[in-house]
Amino acid sequence: AGSVENFAAMMNARAKELGCQNTNFVNPNGLNDPNHYTTARDMALIAEAAFENPTLCRIASTVNYDFPATASVPL
């Protein structure tokens, strides 16, 4: 999106597409801002759409994951 503002605008547009009526994002990370708000109903709509994403479902249902060893790099 090129900027936090543009990304938030994209998030707000998508929220409206999903039927959200009481949601406004100002950042992608959820940090406090007086103009950053949502409702339980809107979050349920967002979650419903999110769980249609197979990658998210795979990640969310992963019980454990072993990271492979990495090569050490001299400083």
Report the residue count for the chain: 75
Global confidence as pTM: 0.75
Phi, psi (deg, nearest 5) at residue 15? -60, -40
Residues in Cβ contact with 45 at an 8 Å cutoff, skipping those fewer than 6 apart = 15, 18, 19, 20
pLDDT for 18 equals 98
- Which residues lie closer than 8 Å to 42 by C-beta, 6 or more apart? 15, 20, 21, 22, 23
Amino acid at 17: E
Query: Percent of the chain at pLDDT above 90?
Result: 77
